[in-house]
Amino acid sequence: MLKHYNISVKGKVQGVWYRKSTWEKAMELGVKGTVKNQFDGSVYIEAEGEENQLKVFIEWCAKGPEFAEVSDISFEEADPSFYQYFEILY
HSE (side-chain half, CA atoms, 13 Å) at 35: 25
Residue tagged active-site, from 37, 58, 75, 80: 37
| Strand ranges in 1-90 using DSSP code E only, listed in sequence order | 3-12, 32-37, 43-49, 69-78, 86-88
SS3 call for 73: strand
- Helix orientation angle between 51-61 and 18-29, rounded to the nearest 10 degrees: 160
The one catalytic residue in 4, 19, 25, 32 is 19
Task: For residue 19, indicate whether it is catalytic.
Answer: yes
Catalytic residues: 19, 37
